[in-house]
Amino acid sequence: MLKTLCPCSFQRYSSLSILGPIVDGFSAWLVEQRYNHSYLRFRICLLPYIEAVLIRRGIRHISKIDKADWAACRKSLLGRFPNQSGTTHALERYLHAQGLLKQKPELVSTTARYLAAYAHYLKTVRGASASTIRQKSCTAAEFLAYVKIDKYAGRLKTLTFKELEAFVKLISVHFTRTGLRHIVAKLRCFLRFLAVQGEVPQGLDHQIDSPRVYREEHLPSTLPWETVQAFLDSIDQSSAVGLRDFTMFFLMAVYGLRASDVIALSLDNIHWRAGKISITQKKTGVVLELPLTDAVGTTLHRYLKKLAPPSPFRQLFLRMKAPLGTLQIAAVSTRFQFWARRSGLEIPGKGSCHRIRHSYAVFLLRKNTPIKAISDILGHRTLESTWTYLRLAIEDLRDVALPVPTEPKNQKAVRA
């Protein structure tokens, strides 16, 4: 592969003392990640500069490279090639994937010990999912950094409620009342764990004020169904990226799927002969059996036919730019915002693509679909979740409003 990319200078790179033996495999790996050849050749050209930094640091073999060496290489490239410093990251990923880097034992910090014990507690005692553990550990890490636990090992023993309030006040500027309420709940959970371990005084978790959030005080955002259809029509399907985005949002509009369900769709979920799509919802774990309509089948067939060469992934929706990989949930909302701006439609906020799901629920209600059927289609465990969506039927609520009583014209007002 290296000789194909650099027919005139491949010997220069293959003769490098440290990186020479892996250059050919590294170039083949970059091709698999779908980097274009011009960009790939430029990355190969940077390998002599990386090796020069390693040699100056006394490195003679790949297995001896540590994090400080990678940081030095990155800093050197930032000075000469600011836009290509990611080459060291790509090289590090390749060496890790091939098992060529020796994992050196690192000193475990006090924060790491607390977080490891907390994650084990959440998993074994509380039965929390992996995503919940990540979220709660993130809040715990921020709190431990605030109290500087690595510098003051016995800091938690003297913790007071005033310091807790100061921490909540510090982070409150980054969240709304609803978001801050979740942060406070995660902090309370961590304090209860520390209290059980005997690390903090008992009862601190009850001394944190939580912001008042009233149930159903805000209506979920929704769009008129005509706007949803106009939004889909505005997506340019001539490119592979546009066709991918259209297919994602079309599935969300037809079935009311969440973004997490869309990016998890794989070829194994589509049963062409049975005429159905089976989805295990990421949020609830509920298994949905949805009919594979002609419109959906045609859209999926057109999208799969236009995909670039086959990839090792089974997921339907992948990144169209290198490195190759599956989409993240945030990417779906980002693409929704991009096409919402391009469409020129009146889409308030132009934020989350979840409003398509809300709009789909109201659309089914307009078609006189029973609420139980709507709940089953959306994959809700209880009807209460569905009722939250159907509060968006504002026009229907106006029909049930009672007339405002008026005072008779001939009746005089009575003074109190």
**Residues known to be catalytic:** 258, 283, 354, 357, 380, 389
- The answer to whether 148 and 192 have CB atoms below 8 angstroms apart is no
Collapsing DSSP states into helix, strand and coil, what is residue 137?
Answer: helix
**CA distances (Å), 403 to each of 71, 341, 392, 408, 410, in order?**
72, 41, 22, 15, 20
- The answer to whether 269 and 287 have CB atoms below 8 angstroms apart is no
Give dist(CA 222, CA 402) in Å, integer.
25
Give dist(CA 185, CA 139) in Å, integer.
10
- Among 144, 130, 132, CA closest to 194: 144
Give dist(CA 360, CA 254) in Å, integer.
8
Q: Work out the burial of residue 411: count CB atoms within 10 Å of its CB; fewer than 13 is exposed, 13-18 middle, 19 or more buried.
A: exposed
Give dist(CA 325, CA 139) in Å, integer.
28
Collapsing DSSP states into helix, strand and coil, what is residue 208?
Answer: coil
Tell me how far the alpha carbon of residue 63 is from its chain's centroid. Answer: 33
Torsion (CA) 297, 319, 254, 265 in degrees, nearest 10: 70
Structure tokens belonging to residue 50:
């990386």
Residue type for position 97: A
Give dist(CA 345, CA 36) in Å, integer.
35
- The answer to whether 228 and 339 have CB atoms below 8 angstroms apart is no
Before 312, cis peptide (omega within 30)?
A: no
Strand pairing category for 276-280 and 270-271: antiparallel
Backbone angles phi, psi at 5, to 5 degrees: -75, -45
- Among 135, 107, 137, CA closest to 121: 137
Structure tokens belonging to residue 260:
């997490």
